[in-house]
Chains A and B, each alone.
Chain A
Amino acid sequence: MAKVKNPFVEALQNIAERQDIGSFKKIFDYFGPRLKSFLMKSGADEAVAEEIIQETMSIIWTKADYYDPSVASPSTWIYTIARNKKIDILRKTRKAVLEDIETAILPPVESKADENIEHDQKFEMVAQYLDDLPKDQLDLLKMNFFEEKSHGEIAEITKIPLGTVKSRIRLALEKIRGKLEQDGSMVNLNNDSGSMVN
């Protein structure tokens, strides 16, 4: 596996360290249109979707120093912020009640900036594992954690028994968890573990 440094890790660090607008624009250009598609699929109209993107970008700008590359990949951090913002904004009352919940997944810890390359590999391995999953299994994960459907709804849509839906999702998550829990040295030793996907 090539040692790729995720460009968005660097972008977030540039924002945190020196309020770099160029890096901020890079994140906006890549994630903005993707967030808009995600938000509109989960029920936001165009104006509300852009309002949530604006709020999400504002949090990225002010809280970039909260981002810890050992805890989540940049897309996961940004996804979680936007999803939490959506939950707060996309309700009937349209009255935001959450304060700072968006950062709660990642309390600031001591800087691990030097180890970024290994962290990238860890998250790359998760992406690789998901890339290699059979489509029917990947779809279960997508429905649960991106389209935000309950196990019951997924069972109904796929006609797969509820217990099987749960156990397949759980099994895949345990594999992902295993990859996330490897530290940098383990990642290097297990470079070819992509073959363990099934």
Chain B
Amino acid sequence: MTFEILSTPVNSPASLIFQQCLAEVDPENRSLNSAMNEVGGYFLDKTETSPLSRELWDKVLNQTNKGKSVSQTNDEHDPLLSQLPFTLRAHLKNKDIKWKSFKDVKVASIVPKDNNEKLELIHVMPGAKIPQHTHEGNESFLVLHGSYSDEYGNYKQGSVQVRSDDHNHTPVGDAQTGCIGLAYTHGKIKFSGKFGKLLNLIAN
């Protein structure tokens, strides 16, 4: 499953962040991802050239006068953030994480919802049980910290689970560590109208 996700081209910020976090959580994933990136770099090097417009260099040069920005993350203020992958910390710096609490579970949106897609950070407190539920659309869930269990198994840090909207389960956060995970959800596209039935068959 990891190979499938890492080698599927992404086209949105939400799916990009999810993919990079998956690449980061495990050294094996990371080296596989590096190999994929090297292939991209190889072809960039070999690709033909397209002439640039004359003024582009001046525009680029102009930007350099704005000086260097100092890059830092804000994890020293939030112990939770320090446990997240670098990708997420970099993305979240200078942003307030707005947690929504549902009893023992906290949920925060990571990128604005767009095109039936969402990316959320989910924090399940130690021992907390999430009521039985299905998912709207397809959900990929990556365990970033701690672990959780459901009727089907126990999922540790670095593991990823993909569930479709008919999947029914009751997750419980690990009694000691709880669980922090990243959930990437993309809804199924539903077509309506004259050719709707046919399009739904193709799309799903």
Inter-chain CA distance A50–B60, complex, in Å, is 10
Shortest beta-carbon distance from B187 to chain A in Å:
16
Query: Do the beta carbons of A170 and B16 come within 8 Å of each other?
Result: no
Query: Do the beta carbons of B42 and A72 come within 8 Å of each other?
Result: no
**Is B41 among interface residues, defined by CB-CB distance under 8 A?**
yes
Inter-chain CA distance A76–B45, complex, in Å, is 9
Closest to A24 in B: B64
Binary flags per residue of A169-196, CB closer than 8 Å to B gives 1, else 0 = 1100110110011000000000000000
**Is A37 among interface residues, defined by CB-CB distance under 8 A?**
yes
**Is A71 among interface residues, defined by CB-CB distance under 8 A?**
yes
Binary flags per residue of A67-108, CB closer than 8 Å to B gives 1, else 0 = 000011111111110011001100111000111110111010
Query: Do the beta carbons of B36 and A33 come within 8 Å of each other?
Result: no
Binary flags per residue of B173-200, CB closer than 8 Å to A gives 1, else 0 = 0000000000000000000000000000
**Is B131 among interface residues, defined by CB-CB distance under 8 A?**
no
Closest to A176 in B: B35
Query: Do the beta carbons of A36 and B42 come within 8 Å of each other?
Result: no
Shortest beta-carbon distance from A124 to chain B in Å:
11
Query: Do the beta carbons of B56 and A54 come within 8 Å of each other?
Result: yes
Query: Do the beta carbons of B16 and A84 come within 8 Å of each other?
Result: yes
Query: Do the beta carbons of B16 and A72 come within 8 Å of each other?
Result: no
Q: Which of B50, B56, B86, B87 has the most CB of A within 10 A?
A: B50
Query: Do the beta carbons of B91 and A75 come within 8 Å of each other?
Result: no
Binary flags per residue of B147-176, CB closer than 8 Å to A gives 1, else 0 = 000000000000000000000000000000
Closest to A148 in B: B9
Query: Chain B, interface size: which category?
Result: 35 or more
With contact pairs A87-B16, A99-B91, A180-B31 given, residues A33 and B51 touching in the complex (Cβ less than 8 Å): yes
Inter-chain CA distance A24–B63, complex, in Å, is 12
Query: Do the beta carbons of B71 and A100 come within 8 Å of each other?
Result: yes
> When the two chains form the complex, which single residue of A32, A34, A148 contacts B56, counting CB atoms closer than 8 Å?
A32
Shortest beta-carbon distance from A163 to chain B in Å:
12
Q: Tell me the chain B residues, 3-56 only, with Cβ under 8 Å from chain A.
A: 3-4, 7-13, 16-17, 20, 23-24, 31-45, 47-53, 56
With contact pairs A50-B52, A57-B63, A173-B32 given, residues A98 and B43 touching in the complex (Cβ less than 8 Å): no
**Is A117 among interface residues, defined by CB-CB distance under 8 A?**
no
Query: Do the beta carbons of A36 and B43 come within 8 Å of each other?
Result: no
Inter-chain CA distance A113–B125, complex, in Å, is 43
> When the two chains form the complex, which single residue of A57, A80, A100, A151 contacts B40, counting CB atoms closer than 8 Å?
A80
Query: Do the beta carbons of A146 and B44 come within 8 Å of each other?
Result: yes
Query: Do the beta carbons of A79 and B52 come within 8 Å of each other?
Result: no
A-B contact sample (7 more), CB < 8 A, given A33-B52, A34-B48, A103-B71: A37-B50, A99-B90, A100-B90, A105-B20, A126-B35, A145-B40, A151-B4
Give the interface of B toward A (CB within 8 A): 3-4, 7-13, 16-17, 20, 23-24, 31-45, 47-53, 56-57, 59-61, 63-64, 68-69, 71, 86-87, 90-91, 93-95, 111-112, 114-115
